[in-house]
Each structure stands twice: as structure tokens, then as C-alpha cells.
Amino acid sequence: MNTIDPTSTSTRVTRWAALLLAVLLVLAPHSPGAMAAGPSQPDLTLSGLKLKAAGPGLSTQADVQVTVKNQGKADARGITVSFAVGENQATAQIDKLKAGKSKDVTVTIATPPTRGTGTVVVQVDPGNTVAESNETNNVLVAPLTARVDTLPDLVIDKVSLEQTTVTPPEVKVTLRVKNQGKGDAPAFKVRAWQPANSAYDQSYDLDGLKAGQAKEFGFTRPPAAHDPATYRFEVDPDDLVQEANEANNQGSGQIKIKFDAGLPNLVIDNVHATRQQNGARLQISYVVRNLGGSDIRGPVEVTCLQQWNQHQNTATIPGGLRKGEAVSQQVAFDLPPNPPDAYGPTVRITADPQHKWPEAFPANNIVIVTIRDPNQEKLNPFMNPDAPLQAQP
């Protein structure tokens, strides 16, 4: 019969293995395979960026809102949220944000003059004062655009034209402007003009309009033509009010004008302007017509005023104008040597400026010529001194 020798080497190894296993079982945690966990930490994130409101003007103020969430396992305290739009900055504070909770914060910050082109950068805990389980999800970058459902929308809702007098003709204009958007609109302008004569271009100031509100206003102006007279209008012409729709701000109206067919009617047309003498001289040619029903049998004065520099030339049609007759004339101005003083002003041409002769339409005796800067057209006035200028209309 074979017996085990307790002193043998294999027996001693077996005993030591059994003893080691017993020690490990005593020291092991109750949940097999579990590891000791580190301390719980918060985890701050950003979402839901909104432009809640925007003001008018070139230095627009916007209310920017963002949602801060603590998706970590521990509460966070002393939280700073920073906002940046270009060089403009603002901050908000959150004293405490419990684990799993969210909070909306709002700041007012200046936005770019050209709205809709800016970018807002929001960062939670920018100084890394809060120890988080994830430090890589603290920044949100997004275009700074407004929600359409919070903006005003200004439109020309109605145009009414009524002739009030025949000699000289006058037209009463009544407009109804409506804010059909979802947000209130601040004060704005309404531009009114007549394409037949650029001299009749006016702007009118209106108070703000609440969402859904409409307002009527009116004015009386002489027409610039009679077959028919066309009036055009634009609300917020300088685009200072941020709107849900910027493409529906214009309106127009036409009216057939009654007039005294027996009176003369002086009109200036076929206006051309050229630079001469290496750009140092401006020459303007034009035609004066009598489109009325009777003759003017006496001298007709025509004045040309360069408005910025107050240079004025006067021409005369000595024998007057018979009905249907036209006379071509030319005037010239010496332009200042300094280009900023030479380009940009207007030349105002007026037939019968003193209203010596009774007319059917004295309001259409004016035409305005704008001297354009050739640099804006990529032209050199010294290399192309006879380039055409802009004449209105």
C-alpha cells in the first residue's frame, strides 16, 4: 500500500497553494470582479443657443440665451458662462447646478452691424475652476442668426392716390404700413419717390409697430408725370430693422393725372454728362421740351447748380418754346482738384426756376445728375476722361 509522505516537495506546494487561496478569498470584495471607483464629478455641457431679441441700428444689441446642463454625477458650484461675438464679450454666473439639472442663462451683447453674419462663441467654466469628468465639451460655436418667429415683418399694406388740384396738379398719397411679423418693430423710415424725377425723393419717420399692428399716414406731393404718375415706396429703406422677410418692403401706385391741356409744360430730358480736360471739367448736355398745349413766347431761364461746391451756371432760351418744340443746350463746370470734392455731388438742372410762366406741370422741370466716382467703376479719370456719368432720371 502506498502512503503520502507529508515531507515531500509536492505535498508542501499543495499546502501553500491552498493557504494562498484562502487568504485571497478573505480579502476579496463581496461583488466578484468589482474594482474600487474614483470620486464622482460634474460634467457641464452647452446646448439650445437662441437669439431671443434684437434691437435696431448699426450697434445692434442682442439677447443671447443658452442652456447649461450638468450631466455628471456630482453637483457643480461657482459656474461662469462666457459669450463672445467678435471682440464683444459678456458673462453670466450660476451659483449651483445639481447633477442632472439644466439652467437657461441669457446675456445682452453687441452684434455685428451687418446682422446674420456674426458667430457667437459660448464657453462654460472658461477658467477650468470646476473639476469635471469631461473637460472637452464646454464650448459651443454657432452662427448668430435670429429666429424668424420672433422678428417683425414690415410691409406696405395699402396705397391710395387721389388728385386734389388740377392747376398745378397735386396728389394726396395715403399709405398703410403693417407689421405682419411675430415681433415688435422699433421706429423706422418710409421712403417715397417718383421714378420720373429723382428730385422727388423723400423719407418719413414713423414710430414703431407692435406685432400685427397697422398704421396709416399720408402726404401731398405734385406728380412728376401724367401718363400715368407712378409713386414708389419702401419701408425701412436703410435696412436698420431686422425682419423675418427683407424682400417684401416695397410698394407702388399709379394715377392718371388730370391737367390743363391749354398750358405749356416744360420738361428736361436726354441728359448726358462727361468729364473733360483730364477729368478737371464736367460738361452736361440736355434738352428742354415744351410738351404742353400752348407756346411760351418769352425767354426761358435754365439753372445748373453743382450742389457740393455751390457752382451755378445759367443758360437762357431767348425766344421761348412753342408747343412741341425742343432746344438742346450745354453747360460746363470746373471740378475741384481734390477727388473727394469732385465726385459724389449732384448737379441740379431746373427749367424756369422762378416759375415765371404758368405751366400744366411745374413739378417736372427738375432733373438731377449725380457725379459718380470713377474709382468705383474701376476707371481712371485721367486715362478715360470722357467716361459717361450717371444722369437721373
Cell of 349: 438742372
What's the pLDDT at 14?
A: 53
d(CA 165, CA 257): 10
Local confidence band at 280 (pLDDT 50, 70, 90 cut-offs): confident
Tell me if 249 sits within 8 A of 206, measured CB to CB. Answer: no
What's the pLDDT at 4?
A: 40
Answer yes or no: is pLDDT of 373 > 80: no
The mean pLDDT of the chain is 80
What's the pLDDT at 147?
A: 59
The domain spans of the chain are 44-146, 154-255, 266-392
Please provide the DSSP assignment of 78-98 as one string: EEEEEEEETTEEEEEEEEEE-
Nearest to 179 by CA among 146, 204, 156, 145: 156
What is the topology classification, in CATH, of domain 266-392? Immunoglobulin-like (2.60.40)
19 or 123, greater pLDDT: 123
Tell me if 246 sits within 8 A of 115, measured CB to CB. Answer: no
Answer yes or no: is pLDDT of 351 > 80: yes
Does this chain's domain 44-146 share its CATH topology with 154-255? yes
For domain 154-255, the CATH superfamily is Immunoglobulins (2.60.40.10)
What's the pLDDT at 388?
A: 37
Answer yes or no: is pLDDT of 50 > 50: yes
Tell me the CATH number of domain 44-146, given options 2.60.40.790, 3.40.50.620, 2.60.40.10, 3.30.70.1560: 2.60.40.10
Whose grid coordinates read 450717371? 390
**Whole-number CA gyration radius for the chain:** 40
What's the pLDDT at 212?
A: 94
Cis peptide preceding 381, ω within 30 of 0: no
pLDDT digits (tens, 9 = 90+) for 162-184: 999 988 889 999 999 999 998 89
What's the pLDDT at 288?
A: 94
Q: Are strands 139-143 and 44-54 parallel, antiparallel or unpaired?
A: unpaired
Tell me if 76 sits within 8 A of 47, measured CB to CB. Answer: no
What's the pLDDT at 179?
A: 96
**Terminal-to-terminal C-alpha distance of the chain:** 132
